[in-house]
Structures are given as C-alpha cells and as structure tokens.
C-alpha cells in the first residue's frame, strides 16, 4: 500500500513509520507540521529509505494536503496528528481545538474530495484510519470495569474533549458521506523516542539529574500501559484487516498505579545506573519522589478491554510492562544525547537552520 501518515514525526507516528518501513513493503508519506513534539531525529534510521517521503505541512492547510494526496495517491490515510498533552490542554486549550477538531475536519474534507475521484476499485480499497485515545471515555469507577468500544464518551480535559470531537467527526463522515473509516482508541503509550514531558521519560531523566520525581496527588491513578512498538503492530493490523466503520480498542493489559510506575523506574535505575551520591542508606532514586498538587479533572482509572482486536484481527501485545519498561529505561540510558537535544531545544534550532 501507499500510506500517508499524519503526525509521523511524533512519538507514536514515528514508531508506526519505522515499523512500516522495517517490516513491510509499503510506501509512506509522512505529513507533519513539526510542532515542538515533532522530531525528525526519531526517523533517522529510515529517512534514507526509497519508500519514505516527508512533507512539512499542517493538516488544516487544505490546499497543501489536497496537493499531497493528488501527488502521492495513497491507498490509506493514517491520522495521528494531534495535540496530546493533558497539562498543556489545561493551560492553553485553543491549540487543541484548532489541531484536533478543526484540523481533523479539514483533513476529512481533503480526503473525501480525493477519495471521491478514485475509480471504483480503489474507492473500495481506500481506508481512512483515525487514531484516538482511551481518554475520550472519561473515568472508570469500578475496580473491574473496562473500556469497550461501546463505552459512552465522557471526556474530562480539553485534550480528551477535543479528541472525542474528532472521533465524532470521523464517524459522521462515514455515515453521511460513505468515507471508509476505521477508528482505534489506545491506552497510555511508552517506549523509545517519547517526548520528555511525559511521565515515564520525565521520571527517568529527572532521576538521572537528581531532580524531584513529581507524582500527582497520592499517585493512585491507574493507567493501562501499551509499549509503542506493540501499538504500531496493532495499527498495521487495523488499517490492513479492520472492518470499515468499526472501532478497535488497543490496550497493553498492563494496569499500573502511577506511583508504582515511578517506583519501578527507580528500581531499574538503581540496577542499571546507580546514583553516584547514593551511599549507604540513601534510599536510591526513590528518595527523589515528590508528591505534588493533583491536576484539575484528573481521572482516577483507565483500563481497556482489547478482546475485540485480539479476537477479530489476531493482535496481542508482545511486551509485558516489566519487559517493555526495562527496554525503555535502557533506551533512554543509551540515548541521552537525543534526550538532551530535546530538553534544551537544540533539535528545533538545528531543524530551523536546515530549513
């Protein structure tokens, strides 16, 4: 297939593109605006592939997107471009409305116009795959409850509300215009090349720097953690084999309390990169854990029932949380230069210089 990936320089998008180029014969066009979270260094291992192209563009720029679609002639659009950080959405929701809602609308319209002029065989084969989040479902109250594909939407933050809106738009474009869409909603991703503002890389890097490890509230919030390379494998399954109009929840079967995630990272770092100043009885990295005021509207528990994608598409996560977290901590220890370039902003300055 020829696949256009929006947001392909982001964390999940870059993992998807690496997987497509390393494990399939598909051709990929990466369309990314290159906001702060877009980092082309995440794609250096595949950047020279003859099956890879990159275009810096905003999904809301209909003229540019239409030209890209006409030139590249994709068989599928995989839409990952989004603002995705909850804290940033609380501080400044406007960017989330613009990208996640207005941008998705513009992309849907550009894609619909492209799809409408395809011959009947290509029309039938074409797919628009919208990648979303479990946060659209809101909070789980029971300890045994799970999000299913039919769980009612109840978003809590500006971020999750904007993603819920984009999900509704995608479904409406299928129901109203017949655009062949697929949706997937994933749990918390983690793994290599994760932007350092997110919990797991933030804790790793703060610990190595001897800085406080901030934990919201009492740290009892529960999340289902999905290794990003497992997610990339699932996305390929959905776009290749999924049924038009269906939604697939993708989770890692790895529910963990936030405080336990932080403690697990500390234990791994104690093993792999012990504190030089630890000394006898210093308590290792856990001594750096600091509880901070909880953020507004913080959901207590997310957990996904991924039985549908397993049953219908034959996908299961390959990593446990223990194996995936160990791989992740090792990756950050081995790639501190990448991390520092993100932290000090030089990855953006170098990019602007190259442009």
Which residues are catalytic, by number?
134-135, 159
Contact 169, 103 (CB under 8 A): no
Contact 133, 163 (CB under 8 A): yes
Contact 60, 83 (CB under 8 A): no
Contact 282, 182 (CB under 8 A): no
Angle at 101 between CA 115 and CA 71, to 5 degrees: 30
Q: Which two tokens stand for residue 215?
A: 């934990």
Contact 127, 75 (CB under 8 A): yes
Contact 20, 1 (CB under 8 A): no
Q: Which two tokens stand for residue 176?
A: 């109203």
Angle at 122 between CA 120 and CA 124, to 5 degrees: 70
- Phi/psi of residue 227, each to 5°? -65, 130
User: How buried is 201 (Cβ within 10 angstroms: 0-12 exposed, 13-18 middle, 19+ buried)?
Assistant: buried
Largest CA distance in the chain: 72
Crossing angle of helices 104-116/158-177, nearest 10°?
A: 20
The DSSP output letter for 301 is B
């Amino acid at each position: 297939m020829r696949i256009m990936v929006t947001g392909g320089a982001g964390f999940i998008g870059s993992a998807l593109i690496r997987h497509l180029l390393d494990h399939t014969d598909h051709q990929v066009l990466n369309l990314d605006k290159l906001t702060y979270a877009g980092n082309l260094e995440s794609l250096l291992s595949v950047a020279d592939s003859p099956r890879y192209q990159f275009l810096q563009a905003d999904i809301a720029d209909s003229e540019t997107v239409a030209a890209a679609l006409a030139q590249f002639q994709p068989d599928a659009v995989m839409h990952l471009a989004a603002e995705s950080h909850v804290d940033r959405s609380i501080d400044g929701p406007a960017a989330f409305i613009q990208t996640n809602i207005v941008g998705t609308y513009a992309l849907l319209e550009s894609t619909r116009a492209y799809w409408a002029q395809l011959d009947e065989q290509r029309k039938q084969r074409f797919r628009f795959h919208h990648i979303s989040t479990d946060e659209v479902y809101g909070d789980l109250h029971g300890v045994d409850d799970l999000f299913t594909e039919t769980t009612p939407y109840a978003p809590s933050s500006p971020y999750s509300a904007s993603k819920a809106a984009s999900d509704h738009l995608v479904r409406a474009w299928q129901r109203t215009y017949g655009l062949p869409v697929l949706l997937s909603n994933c749990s918390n991703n983690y793994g290599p090349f994760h932007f350092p503002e997110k919990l797991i890389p933030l804790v790793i890097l703060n610990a190595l720097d001897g800085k406080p490890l901030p934990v919201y509230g009492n740290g009892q919030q529960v999340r289902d953690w999905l290794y990003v390379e497992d997610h990339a494998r699932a996305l390929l399954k959905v776009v290749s084999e999924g049924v038009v109009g269906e939604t697939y929840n993708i989770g890692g079967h790895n529910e963990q309390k936030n405080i336990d995630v932080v403690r697990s990272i500390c234990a791994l770092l104690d093993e792999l990169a012990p504190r030089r100043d630890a000394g006898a009885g210093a308590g290792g990295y856990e001594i750096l854990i600091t509880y901070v005021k909880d953020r507004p509207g913080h959901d207590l528990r997310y957990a996904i029932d991924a039985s549908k994608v397993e049953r219908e598409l034959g996908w299961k996560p390959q990593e446990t949380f223990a194996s995936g977290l160990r791989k992740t901590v090792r990756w950050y220890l081995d790639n501190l230069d990448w991390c520092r370039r993100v932290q000090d902003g030089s990855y953006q300055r170098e990019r602007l210089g190259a442009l």
